[in-house]
Amino acid sequence: MMQFVDIVTMTNNVIPFVQSASYPIRPGNLVRPLIDGEPAFRRICETIEAAQKSVWVTVTFMWGDFEMPDGRGGTFDVLDRAAARGIDVRVIFWRPEAKTEGLRRNAFWGSPAHIDLLNGRRSGVKIRWDCAHPGFCQHQKSWLMDAGIRNETAFVGGINLNPHSMVTPGHNGEGHNHDVYVELAGPSVVDVHHNFVQRWNEASERLAENGRWGTGSEATLQFPTQVSSARGSAVVQIQRTIHQGCYLDGQATPEGISYDIASGEQSNFDQYCAAINAARGSIYMENQYVDVPEIVDCLHRALTRGVDVVLLMPAEPDVGLPIPPERQTFLKARAELGTFEGFMLAGIAGIGVDGRRKSIYVHAKLMLIDDEWATVGSCNLHRFSLFGNSEMNVAFSEPHTVRALRCELLREHLDQDTSDISDRDALQLFRKIARENRRKYEVGDHAWEGLAFELDPGKYVG
């Protein structure tokens, strides 16, 4: 029987977790951040190769030319090797529907060519395809090894199976993405397990022609019944975005949680607002998009309280033109964050093969608060991820781990060791270096300190 602890007695953290999540707050976890694709996928592959029972994966996008690190081959090479030694390998792939079919180009959506590929390699992987609510995306990216046994391990984050993401920290080269996963062990893995079973059993295409593939893909899975023992000291809550009505199985939520999943879940949105509103000293964010007025309002209030805020976004964002009037109003409100001395909007750029700076696309979705609390996952700060996509984040409180993540990120972005200074001093140093790098960029000097450079909030339209 699954055991749950009263969330009121579980943590004395100043940064609150949220009661709108379908999963509880759980102590006793080990959280290990993995920065950039090559280190992240190397660790994922090592865990797959050590798996004893199962490998279960949720995928949004998978490029045809993506390969795992160290000569392991493509995704199916890695997964088929696991299946060949008797491991239960299952993948839930997103299938874009009519309103999102333009995104099929880099999705493994079950086309005739995809089925031919699977038949040709006689893949041992079990697959179900899953559409999202029309106009939205099944955007979770998770890997779950040995679900339900003692050494179960999960990886949650935002890194797609994209060759531009298979890069090392430091980003020497061109066409790079910057992104993050976290490795998770301990009690909260049961919630990643539950999420996979819920999606597998109710995958939208499971009864459709070419809606599943592989012997055993027709079978449903049993929900977890026990929680793993403690593996560390981090307090964790698995948080999601689930569109209203996506999961209708009345038995889908874990026993002991009073939550109607049919009403949907927006705990990622609730958590971002709650954490920003509770920040006392520092907020460090990396996100592909910040497009929701409520989030900008929370940041404005934090800056008014004197909190230092650094927001890292793509220096060359995806932009739709022309910009409609309502978006112009939003952009003006977001630009006002730049009137605060404690705020910085920044991008990152590495050295290309020609010795010149090349923009690095920030695809990470993370936030660190006060060197004691963080969230990492798949959730962008736009209306799709916060109110309609299927998303999953790991929110965690463990000061040592959060501080170490801050130091590792800033070591990459600033080429500085910030382990001996406070979070606020580190963000002030970030602003200093990024402003100097911006000045150098404007005069054609590519000899920067680190990667970060200041962006103009008044001109940023991403």
SS (H, E, C) the chain: CCCCCCHHHHCCCCCCCCCCCCCCCEEEEEEEEEECHHHHHHHHHHHHHHCCCEEEEEECCECCCCCECCCCECHHHHHHHHHHCCCEEEEEEECCCHHHHHHHHHCCCCCHHHHHHHHHHCCCCEEEEECCCCCCCECCEEEEECCCCCCCEEEEECCCECHHHCCCCCCCCCCCEECEEEEEECCCHHHHHHHHHHHHHCCCCCCCCCCEECCCCCCCCCCCCCCCCCCCCEEEEEEEEECCCCCCCCCCCCCCCCCCHHHCEEHHHHHHHHHHHHCCCEEEEECCCECCHHHHHHHHHHHHCCCEEEEECCCCCCCCCCCCHHHHHHHHHHHHHHHCCCEEEEEEEEECCCCCEEEEEECCCEEEECCCEEEEECCCECHHHHHCCEEEEEEEECHHHHHHHHHHHHHHHHCCCCCCCCHHHHHHHHHHHHHHHHHHHHCCCCCCCCCEEECCCCCCCC
Q: Please, what are the domains in the chain?
A: 25-211 (3.30.870.10), 269-454 (3.30.870.10)
pLDDT one digit per residue (tens) for the chain, 462 residues: 333 333 333 445 689 999 999 999 999 999 999 999 999 999 999 999 999 999 999 999 999 999 999 999 999 999 999 999 999 999 999 999 999 999 999 999 999 999 999 999 999 999 999 999 999 999 999 999 999 999 999 999 999 999 999 999 999 999 999 999 999 999 999 999 999 999 999 999 999 989 999 999 999 999 999 999 999 999 999 999 999 877 655 344 444 333 345 579 999 999 999 999 999 999 999 999 999 999 999 999 999 999 999 999 999 988 777 888 889 999 999 999 999 999 999 999 999 999 999 999 999 999 999 999 999 999 999 999 999 999 999 999 999 999 999 999 999 999 999 999 999 999 999 999 999 999 999 999 999 999 999 999 999 998
This prediction's pTM:
0.94
pLDDT at 262: 59
pLDDT for res 3: 34
